[in-house]
Structure 1
Amino acid sequence: MLSCIQKLHNRHRHAVRGFIRFLTYLGAFFLISIAYWIADNFGEPSLEQILYHAQFGVQGLVDTDAAIIKSFLSWCIALPLLISMLLVLVEYSIALFLTHGSTHWLTRPARHANIHFVKVFYWFIGHRAPLYTLVIAGVYFGMQFSLTIFIQHQFGKDYFAAHYIAPSEVEVSQVKPKNLVLIYVESLEDSYKNPVLFGKNLLSSLDHLKGVSFANYKTAPGSWWTIAGIISTQCALPLKSVSLYDGNDQGKKIKSFLPNAVCLGDILHDAGYYNVYIGGDALAFAGKGMFFQDHHYDEIYGREELKGNLKSTDMNYWGLYDDDLLKIVKAKLIKLHARQQPFNLTFTTIDTHGPDGHFSKYCKARGIKDFEGIVECSANQVSELVKFITKSGYLKDTRVVILGDHLAMENPVYEKLKTIKERHIYNRFISNNPISKNREDILPFDMFPTILEFIGFKVHGGKLGLGYSAISKDVALPPATEYEEMNEDLLNKSDMYLDLWKRKHRAELHTVKQNK
Structure 2
Amino acid sequence: MGKGDLISADTHNPYWSNSHHRHFIRGVVRFLIYLCAFFLAAIAYWIADNFGEPSLEQLLYHAQFGMGGLIDTDAAVIKSFIAWCIALPILGALLLVLIEYSIALFLTHGSTHWLTKPARLANIHFIKVFYWFIGHRAPLYALTAAAIYFGIQFSVTIFVHNLFGKDYFAAHYLNPTTVKIEAVQPKNLVLIYVESLENAYKEPKLFGKNLLSSLDHLKGLSFTHYKKAPGTWWTIAGITATQCAVPLKSVSLYDGNDQGEKMKSFLPNAVCLGDILHEAGYHNVYMGGDALGFAGKGMFFKDHHYDEIYGRDELKGNLTDAELNYWGLYDDQLFAAAKAKLIELHHKKQPFNLTMTTIDTHGPDGHFSKYCKSLGVKTFESIVECTSNQVANFVKFIKKSGYLKDTQVVILGDHLAMENPVSKKLDRVKERLIFNQFVSNSHFERNRNHILPFDMFPTILDFIGFKVQGGKLGLGYTAFSKEIDLSLLPNDEEMNQDLLNQSDMYLDLWKHKSAL
Structure 1 residues 245 and 480: CA distance shift in structure 2, 3 A:
closer
Partners of 1:190 and 1:88 in 2: CA distance: 50
**How far did 1:61 drift?**
2.1
Partners of 1:251 and 1:416 in 2: CA distance: 37
AA of the residue aligned to 2:474: G
Aligned: 1:106 with 2:115: yes
Aligned: 1:121 with 2:141: no
Choose the corresponding residue for 2:282, options 273, 277, 282.
Answer: 273
Aligned: 1:382 with 2:391: yes
Instruction: Map Cα deviations across residues 467-513 of structure 1 (whole Å, 9 max, x no partner).
Output: 00000112222646521111110011111101110112599xxxxxx
**How far did 1:63 drift?**
2.5
- The aligned residue for residue 464 of structure 2 is 455
- The aligned residue for residue 372 of structure 1 is 381
Structure 1 residues 248 and 25: CA distance shift in structure 2, 3 A:
closer
**How far did 1:60 drift?**
2.0
Instruction: Map Cα deviations across residues 433-460 of structure 1 (whole Å, 9 max, x no partner).
Output: 1311000000000000000010000000
Aligned: 1:50 with 2:51: no
Partners of 1:399 and 1:415 in 2: CA distance: 35
Instruction: Map Cα deviations across residues 162-220 of structure 1 (whole Å, 9 max, x no partner).
Output: 00000111110111000000000111111110011111111111111132000000010
CA contact (8 A) 1:246 1:253 kept: no
**How far did 1:129 drift?**
1.3
Structure 1 residues 150 and 122: CA distance shift in structure 2, 3 A:
same
- The aligned residue for residue 303 of structure 1 is 312
Choose the corresponding residue for 2:241, options 207, 221, 232.
Answer: 232
AA of the residue aligned to 1:374: I
- The aligned residue for residue 70 of structure 1 is 79
Q: How does 1:482-493 map to 2 (within 5 A)?
A: 482-493=491-502
- The aligned residue for residue 428 of structure 1 is 437
CA contact (8 A) 2:64 2:250 kept: no
Partners of 1:443 and 1:418 in 2: CA distance: 20
CA contact (8 A) 2:195 2:414 kept: yes
AA of the residue aligned to 1:34: I
- The aligned residue for residue 4 of structure 1 is none
Instruction: Map Cα deviations across residues 364-384 of structure 1 (whole Å, 9 max, x no partner).
Output: 221111111111111111111
Q: How does 1:8-407 map to 2 (within 5 A)?
A: 10-242=19-251, 253-308=262-317, 314-407=323-416
* Aligned pairs, number: 501
Partners of 1:179 and 1:480 in 2: CA distance: 29
Larger mean CA deviation between 470-479 and 258-267 belongs to 470-479
**How far did 1:44 drift?**
1.4
Partners of 2:180 and 2:402 in 1: CA distance: 32
Structure 1 residues 306 and 13: CA distance shift in structure 2, 3 A:
same
AA of the residue aligned to 1:274: H
CA contact (8 A) 1:185 1:403 kept: yes
**How far did 1:29 drift?**
1.2
- The aligned residue for residue 468 of structure 1 is 477
TM-score by length of 2: 0.93
Partners of 2:400 and 2:321 in 1: CA distance: 29
Q: What SS does the aligned partner of 2:506 have? A: helix
CA RMSD of aligned residues (A): 2.1
TM-score by length of 1: 0.93
CA contact (8 A) 1:260 1:502 kept: yes
Instruction: Map Cα deviations across residues 338-365 of structure 1 (whole Å, 9 max, x no partner).
Output: 1111110101111111111111122122
Partners of 1:454 and 1:109 in 2: CA distance: 71
Partners of 1:444 and 1:235 in 2: CA distance: 10
Larger mean CA deviation between 294-303 and 84-93 belongs to 84-93
Q: What SS does the aligned partner of 2:317 have? A: helix
CA contact (8 A) 2:64 2:260 kept: no
Partners of 2:354 and 2:190 in 1: CA distance: 5
CA contact (8 A) 2:198 2:413 kept: yes
CA contact (8 A) 1:468 1:478 kept: no
Choose the corresponding residue for 2:418, options 383, 406, 409.
Answer: 409
CA contact (8 A) 2:204 2:210 kept: yes
CA contact (8 A) 1:279 1:347 kept: yes
- The aligned residue for residue 503 of structure 1 is 512
Structure 1 residues 242 and 323: CA distance shift in structure 2, 3 A:
same
CA contact (8 A) 2:65 2:261 kept: no
Larger mean CA deviation between 108-117 and 463-472 belongs to 108-117
**How far did 1:337 drift?**
0.7
AA of the residue aligned to 2:441: N
AA of the residue aligned to 2:400: K
Partners of 1:179 and 1:250 in 2: CA distance: 35
AA of the residue aligned to 1:29: F
CA contact (8 A) 2:64 2:252 kept: no
Q: What SS does the aligned partner of 2:367 have? A: coil
Structure 1 residues 251 and 272: CA distance shift in structure 2, 3 A:
closer
CA contact (8 A) 2:283 2:353 kept: yes
**How far did 1:67 drift?**
3.6
AA of the residue aligned to 1:350: I
Partners of 1:112 and 1:311 in 2: CA distance: 53
CA contact (8 A) 2:286 2:354 kept: yes
- The aligned residue for residue 3 of structure 1 is none
Larger mean CA deviation between 378-387 and 448-457 belongs to 378-387
Instruction: Map Cα deviations across residues 385-413 of structure 1 (whole Å, 9 max, x no partner).
Output: 11111111111111000000000011111
Partners of 1:70 and 1:217 in 2: CA distance: 36
AA of the residue aligned to 1:265: G
Larger mean CA deviation between 229-238 and 62-71 belongs to 62-71
CA contact (8 A) 1:247 1:503 kept: no
CA contact (8 A) 1:93 1:107 kept: yes
CA contact (8 A) 1:461 1:476 kept: no
Q: What SS does the aligned partner of 1:419 have? A: coil
Partners of 1:288 and 1:394 in 2: CA distance: 28
Partners of 1:171 and 1:436 in 2: CA distance: 22
Structure 1 residues 229 and 250: CA distance shift in structure 2, 3 A:
closer
Q: What SS does the aligned partner of 1:308 have? A: coil
AA of the residue aligned to 1:464: L
Q: What SS does the aligned partner of 1:241 have? A: coil
